Amino acid sequence: MTDKIKMKVAREAGASNIPATIDHDAAMIEELRADPAYAEIYLQTALEDIYEPGGVGAFLIALRQIIEARGGVGEIAKKSGLARQHIYRALSANGNPTLTTITEITRAAGVRLAPVHYA
């Protein structure tokens, strides 16, 4: 049963503290938390689409969601040695991180970027 269905059932049963909707980011972060192996697939898919319009921003958002699922920016900052503000800036939709920054972040988050052939 999906979370959306569970929330609907709970609301119909009289629970008043159940939100009517769930934020997409929050839902994705919860999914990534529940299934850590999915993070590799999710990030790889975002990497494969990086050359599409909006692909870079989508990749950075996917990486940020993985970070949130793995303890948050503060935890990744401690593990990587990067400043929290630097990570937030780098992983914004308009971020422009260096390869070194991406490498440090992915290493700290426990995910790898796998090269793909682009034709």
pLDDT at 106: 92
Q: What's the rounded Cα separation, in Å, for the pair 93 and 116?
A: 22
pLDDT digits (tens, 9 = 90+) for 82-94: 999 999 999 887 8
Instruction: Write out the two tokens for 85.
Output: 């503000």
This prediction's pTM: 0.74
Amino acid at 31: E
**CB–CB of 61/95 below 8 Å?**
no
**Which helix (DSSP H) or strand (DSSP E) does residue 42 occupy?**
helix 36-48
pLDDT-above-90 percentage for the chain? 38
